[in-house]
Amino acid sequence: MEYRQLGNTGIKVSAITFGSWAIGGWMWGGTEREDALDAIWASYDNGVTTIDTAPIYGQGLSEEIVGEAIRDLPRDKMQLLTKFGMRWNVAKGDFAFKSKDNAGNPIDIYKYTGKESIIKECEDSLRRLGTDYIDLYQIHWPDITTPVAETMEALSQLLKQGKIRAAGVCNYSAQLMAEAETTLSLASNQVPYSMVERTIEEELVPYCIQHNKAIIAYSPLQRGLLTGKIKPDHVFAQGDHRPTTEFFKPENIRRVDNFLDKLRPLARSKNALISQLVIRWTIEQPGITIALVGARDKDQAMQNARAINVQLSNDEIRFIDGELKKLELLEDSVPA
C-alpha cells in the first residue's frame, strides 16, 4: 500500500481508502453485517488503514459496523474519517430530500451545521465508532442556513478538545474553501471524481494543489459503473438508488461498457481487473490524494486494495486519456 499525507497535517492515509456508504445499506438495497465486517478486515489485511464513513449511511449503522470492525485492530495504526451535517427528522437547516431508512420508514433529510448540532453529532459518532477521537471530521454538504464561520468555529473547538485531529469539508467549491480558511485551516475536500465525472479539474484541483489541501475522491468507480460488471440489462436490488441517476441510464451503461472494452487488453496485460486499472488511474491524477472505494464483501475489498499493485506508465495513462476523450455520455448525464 502507498500512504500519503493528508494536506498540511501530519496524518498519513492509505491511498486506497475503504468507503462505508454501501455497508450502511441505506440507498444500496440493504446490507449484510457479517459481509461488511469481513470486507473491512480484508481491507486492513491488505494495507488499507483508512476508513471513511458518515452518520447518515444507514442512520448510524455504517459507523456502528466500522466501530465493531476496528474493536480488535490497533487504533493508532488506523485513520477514521467521518462526517456531520446530514441530519434526519430534525426539521432544522436546509431541507435536502425525502427518503426511507433501511426498515422502509419515511425520513426527511436536512443539511444542518449549527454549532450545537455539530458538537452533538461528534459525540454520537465517537460513541458509535467506539473511539475517543476522529482523525478527520468533515462537513458532509454545504449548509446555506448556517454561516460558514459558525461551522468552522465548532470544528476549532473540537480540535482544541482533541476529539478530532483534523477538519475537512465535502462537496465544497474552491470559493467556499477559501471562505472557511479565514476561520480554520482545512486538511481536505472530499468530492466526486471518476473517469466520467471530472468537473473538479477546472477550479478545485488547481486550488487544492496551490494551497496544499488533500483531495479525497469519492465514487472513483462511479458507484460500480466503471467496474465493467454492470450491463444495460442489469437488475438492481430494491431500494438501490443507482437506476434513478443519469449515469445509469441504459444507453450510458452501454457507452461506458464500450469504452471499458478498449481498456480490457491493457488490464489483461497487467493481470489486473478493469476496476483495479480505474482505481490506479484515479490516484495517479494531479491533486488526488485518496481514492475512496466501497466494498460489500471481502472479495471486493481485496480486489480494491490490490489495485495499488497496478503500475501505469505515462504512455499508458495517455492511452487511457485518449480513449476517455472519445467517450460521449448523454448530455444530461454528468452533473455540473
What's the pLDDT band for 126 if we cut at 50, 70, 90?
very high
Residue 333 belongs to some domain of the structure: no
Residue 26: pLDDT band by 50, 70, 90 thresholds?
A: low
Active site residues: 57
Q: How confident is the model at residue 46 (pLDDT cuts 50, 70, 90)?
A: very high
- Over residues 181-186, the mean pLDDT reads 97
Per the domain annotation, does 28 fall within a domain? yes
* Residue 238 included in any domain: no
Q: What is the pLDDT of residue 16?
A: 98
Looking at the structure of the chain, the number of domains it has is 1
Q: What is the pTM of this model?
A: 0.92
Residue 326, Cβ density class (10 Å: 0-12 exposed, 13-18 middle, ≥19 buried)? exposed
Q: What percent of the chain shows pLDDT beyond 70?
A: 94
| Residue-range definition of the domain harbouring residue 214 | 3-224+275-310
Q: Is the pLDDT of residue 333 over 50?
A: no
| Structural domain includes residue 162 | yes
Give the residue from 185, 188, 189 showing the smallest Cα distance to 172.
189
How many CB atoms sit inside 10 A of residue 312's CB?
A: 18
Does the pLDDT of residue 207 top 60, yes or no? yes
Q: Identify whether 263 is part of a domain.
A: no
In the chain, DSSP assigns E strands to 3-5, 12-14, 16-19, 50-52, 79-84, 86-88, 94-100, 106-111, 136-139, 167-170, 188-192, 214-218, 288-294
Quote the cell numbers at residue 279.
482505481
| 126: CATH | 3.20.20.100
- Banded model confidence at residue 91, pLDDT cuts 50, 70, 90: confident
- How high is the pLDDT of residue 334? 45
Query: Could you tell me if residue 291 is inside a domain?
Result: yes
State what percent of residues in the chain have pLDDT above 90.
76
The pLDDT of residue 27: 57
**Is there a domain that residue 241 lies in?**
no
Nearest to 183 by CA among 223, 224, 139, 221: 139
Is 295 or 139 the better-scoring residue by pLDDT?
Answer: 139
Dihedral sign for Cα atoms in the order 224, 64, 13, 176: positive
